[in-house]
Structure 1
């Protein structure tokens, strides 16, 4: 492939999150094919984004000469088998988070990527906020002095209503963990990215809403939420057990000795990152994408001006760059593996009620 040739993407999965991925691919590459276990969903995505080919199955998509790389947007339990098939077919692979269900699955994915030489990427959306990219540079320059602590919160309230139906996100065999793998994984990744590796963790996870009504009719996640909020969703009086956590709280110990916390929930809204340092402390909020600073001796935070030198990035920018330039800049499957190993440690810690080394 010449450097200036467009990279041709085959999308596997056509649910709610696939639309966000397709918009990114469309801006920076060319989508040539899509497949989904529900063909009607693939056809709907194809119409919306002018994708020329809808494949009946994964092998048909992987066998196409006009697919250079695949984007996986399926539920987590399918990430490992699909990625392994794609890499064995010589395709570069970009995968939605979490990378896999277990650290062992993620390790196999990293090893096969190294063996085949394909490029990989994992969805790590928080890395692309300009304010956080600027904060990373501030930390690298040593402006905080000695760093004392990291605190992150990443929560959404989409599941706070006990009448919201039980989808695959609440099932251990399809989603693995609950809010940890859905939302907490973002903070695990950004904590490593901003500071350094995490050496040990203590985790507490809790199911707050133990049962939910079964899903009566299938809708992708966005449509499901819209119909539920509008009171239009068909419901059942039956109840089935929720199998994974609604909230999680983590205590962290970083490689450089810094301590930290992460909290995530699917029952309330909270989005911020706070890093306390000897010379200054920084606070980031999602809405708006805003970075605040409080220097040592001051009591109030003030807004930080973000230089206009930061280019626009999407979740797929670095992945496509790595293909074009034969690089391995993060986030790659290796970063997904590191996050998955830490999540495995959180599960062990919650079970055994103790600190676990990563």
Structure 2
């Protein structure tokens, strides 16, 4: 099979990001399977029809159950709100469809385990949308760690800072409702940090955390879309049922120490997604706002040139970079999705599970819930106990 027919459920922020990722793949990675953007699905018939035209999908529908049952669909891409993930994924797996699902995988650890079990039982390929893994500079950090060039890892610290909820008049969007989103900054932003830690450092053994919801009531929305919303009647408000900010400390199974911060109240930070890793032989610093760069330090540099150096991960020596532009020409956020889809296509070709997959989604959900339990019980929680 040289082509892959895709049905996608979701058409807003992530729907646009995924569509763009699929469209770029055959132009820049022509030796992979070609994704055919067959059907896009959403509840609002008029809006999804407009998205189909704008994003380049052949057809549109408002019935995901009909979509997953179609014989001409090979893969179901799920980027609808988190409360829809489980039902769609399990039905699609039962219909023999491969799965790509945005993070967090589900509303709960139990639901995520149910999704993994369904995918494994069906024998389909499954992948979870931790796209930040696929920035070439992040993959360079991974290579330095795996090659032992940073030595024994002592510290991992990570932070994902946004400020789009500081205004108390920002409406009660779906991301602020636990029954739809599962959690707030913790599950949306913190999930990326947790997966990055798993990818680069290893499993997390124990956690202790704290969280806060700074604004408890917000105006009810008239319309929501991704990270934006418009207010309805200002007099009507509803409760915010998720965290605005969550911080936690962690001990990894290899004894490294970690600190994590996810917030939507860091004034002046639009989307600061960063980590620093310190090892016995060196350190690295990554900031997604400068995603093509990795700050690298080695202890064995001569004294007169000691210090962090800027490595630009845009030439063919770095993962995926050779497929894009001449050396020194930067790539952006959207390219991480194309790289993730390259991994999926390679996994299909090689008959293996892509990485990260639903196993990684479950591991992330396990840490998310361990932190939530820690916040509730105000004590350290062993992740493996969940």
Residue deviations 1:45-67 (CA, integer Å, cap 9, x gap): 10112212112311211122221
Tell me the residue number matched to 2:375.
350
Q: How many residues end up aligned between the 2 structures?
A: 347
Give yes or no for contact 2:127–2:354 (8 Å, CA) kept in 1: no
Counterpart in the other structure of 2:280: 278
Alpha-carbon distance between aligned partners in 2 of 1:235 and 1:142, rounded to the nearest angstrom: 58
Task: Measure how far apart 1:223 and its partner are.
Answer: 5.5
C-alpha offsets along residues 314-337 of structure 1, whole Å, 9 cap, x if unaligned?
332222322232111310111101
4+ residue runs over 6 A deviation: none
The structure 1 residue matched to 2:310, chosen from 303, 306, 313, is 303
SS of 1:245's partner is coil
Q: CA deviation at 1:162?
A: 1.0
Give 3-state SS (helix, strand or coil) of 2:205's partner. strand
Shift in alpha-carbon separation, 1:162–1:223, aligned structure 2, 3 A: closer
- Provide the TM-score with structure 1 as the length reference: 0.92
CA distance in 2, matches of 1:219, 1:187: 25
Please name the residue that 1:238 is paired with.
Answer: 236
**d(CA) in 2 for partners of 1:203 and 1:321?**
38
Using the alignment, how far apart are the partners of 2:170 and 2:72 within structure 1? 41
1:218 aligns with 2:201: no
Q: 1:62 to 1:329 in 2, by over 3 A?
A: closer
Q: Residue 308 of structure 1: SS of its match in structure 2? A: coil
SS at match of 1:84: helix
SS in 2 for 1:314: helix
Q: Match for residue 164 of structure 1?
A: 170
Q: Distance in 2 between matches of 1:146 and 1:167?
A: 43
State TM-score, norm by structure 2: 0.86
Please tell me whether the aligned partners of residues 201 and 356 of structure 1 are also in contact (alpha carbons under 8 angstroms): yes
Q: Is the 8 A contact 1:92 1:118 kept in 2?
A: yes
Distance (whole Å) between structure 2 residues aligned to residue 324 and residue 44 of structure 1: 33
CA contact (8 A) 1:318 1:331 kept: no
Single out whichever of 46-55 and 85-94 deviates more from structure 2: 46-55
Write out per-residue CA displacement over residues 17-61 of structure 1, whole angstroms, 9 at most, x where no aligned residue. Answer: 211011112233111011111112211110112212112311211
Q: CA deviation at 1:304?
A: 2.3
Q: Which runs of 5+ in 1 are unaligned?
A: none
1:128: how far off?
Answer: 0.7
Q: What does 1:1-358 align with in structure 2 at a 5 Å threshold? A: 2=1, 5-28=2-25, 29-215=35-221, 217-221=222-226, 224=229, 236-268=234-266, 269=269, 270-289=272-291, 290-296=293-299, 300-306=307-313, 308-309=316-317, 310-312=319-321, 313-358=338-383
Query: Hey, what's the Cα distance between the residues in 1 that align with 2:48 and 2:182?
Result: 25
The 1:272/1:53 distance shift into structure 2, 3 A limit, reads same
Give the whole-Å Cα distance in 2 for the aligned partners of 1:191 and 1:167: 29
- Aligned residues: CA RMSD: 1.7
Moved more, 184-193 or 271-280: 271-280
Aligned equivalents of 1:325 and 1:294: distance in 2?
36
Aligned residues of 1:76 and 1:100 also touching (Cα < 8 A): yes
Q: Is the 8 A contact 1:76 1:99 kept in 2?
A: yes
Verify the 8 A CA contact 2:245 2:265 in the aligned structure 1.
yes
Conservation of the 8 A alpha-carbon contact between 1:15 and 1:41:
no
